[in-house]
Amino acid sequence: MSHKTVQVFQIICLSMFSIQCFAQSDTTAEPDTIPYYINIDDYFNLSADLETDFESFQLKGEGFEYDIRPNFEYVNLVGIDYRALSFFISFKPNLGVNSDNDLKGKSEHTGFGFSFNTSKMINHVGYSFAKGFYLENTLDYDPNFIENSSPYIQFPDLEVTSFRGSHAFKTNPNFSYGAFSVQMARQTRSAGTLAPGLSYNYYKINNGTGAQRSTNLEILFNLPYYYTHVIDQKWYGNVGVIGGAGMTNTWLTTTINGEDFKSNINSFIMRGSAILGLGYNSKGLFAGVEGKAHRRFQNQGGTGVKEEIDGFSFRVFIGFHIKAPHFINRAYDKFEAKFLGK
């Protein structure tokens, strides 16, 4: 087992230990009249996020290792939520943090996503596009490379287009995923839940020259555990441990002298992550920070190539609860009554 694998395993174990500690602290009796969570039904959420979780590639094989990244450190998200519905757009910020385009090249990023989370189900679909990458470990292939002075090996036309989704079943009705993820509820008593489910990612990688391109379909079965520890009426802590395994099917097209050669590869894939967050959720304002340790392993069957992605990402967010117009509340009430049986 590699050193990085051990580190991620230790993080997950520590998170599980935290869950047990939180669970033990919940044994003190709380009045049954206090609900486990309160939905913020008649309000919109408007939020802004800054996070570091974006597309990158780490490929390893016999005699080579590539660490391919886009030239930006953060992405911005702007979101709007209402009851069970959530929508966001993401984009690369222009905050002066990407002033090294001459060394690493120019990168683009756009994306959007939609969620529909009921009392039993967690559903999310999204799209993202990224273009322009560079080789972080250029020194391994260019002995004359000088960091912060020499240009990195760049892939300006490399594009990644992704359509992804996830669906999970929440096993504990006392836990609010809306409070955990988008602050559309306030967890008033500590609770956690298993959320077994399925995730999928259909993505295309094109090097821009037309010489080689791939279409990929990734399907995983996941078993997450989410837990919210209520510190007081407005402060809370989140813990999540997520494990998943599945398959990736890759259709690879290589063009040589105008002729296309096609191949198909099936790969086993494993993912694991641990989430730790702290948040504040009041009547008008919510904010928080969240860190995630993650590891992804994929053995590209028959090629001898391994794709390994591990690291740490963080998210900072702030937002406001804004009273929704009465006609929107009435329209959504009718929708719930007709289609959700409420």
Over residues 97-131, the pLDDT tens digits come to: 556 899 999 999 999 999 999 889 999 999 999 99
Tell whether the model's pLDDT for residue 22 goes beyond 50.
no
Pairing of strands 285-300, 37-39: unpaired
| Residue 140 DSSP code | G
Residue 323: Cβ within 10 Å count:
10
Give the residues across from 221 on adjacent strands.
Answer: 198, 245
Burial class (CB in 10 A: 0-12, 13-18, 19+), 78: middle
Give the residues across from 193 on adjacent strands.
Answer: 226
Can you list the domains of the chain with their CATH numbers? 3-27+43-340 (2.40.128)
Helix (H, G, I), strand (E, B) or coil at 187: strand
pLDDT the model gives residue 1: 44
Tell whether the model's pLDDT for residue 11 goes beyond 60.
no
Mean pLDDT within 178-204: 96
Tell whether the model's pLDDT for residue 56 goes beyond 60.
yes
Burial class (CB in 10 A: 0-12, 13-18, 19+), 64: exposed
pLDDT the model gives residue 141: 93
pLDDT the model gives residue 24: 40
pLDDT the model gives residue 308: 73
pLDDT the model gives residue 57: 77
Spell out the residues 6+ positions from residue 266 whose beta carbon is closer than 8 angstroms to its own: 247, 248, 249, 250, 301
pLDDT the model gives residue 304: 57
Question: 163 near 127, Cβ under 8 Å?
Answer: yes
Most confident stretch, 15-19, 52-56, 70-74 = 70-74
pLDDT the model gives residue 342: 64
| Position 15 confidence tier, pLDDT thresholds 50, 70, 90 | very low
More confident call, 299 vs 72: 72
Q: Express each pLDDT in 76-100 by its tens digit.
A: 999 999 999 999 999 988 765 556 8
pLDDT the model gives residue 6: 42
pLDDT the model gives residue 98: 56
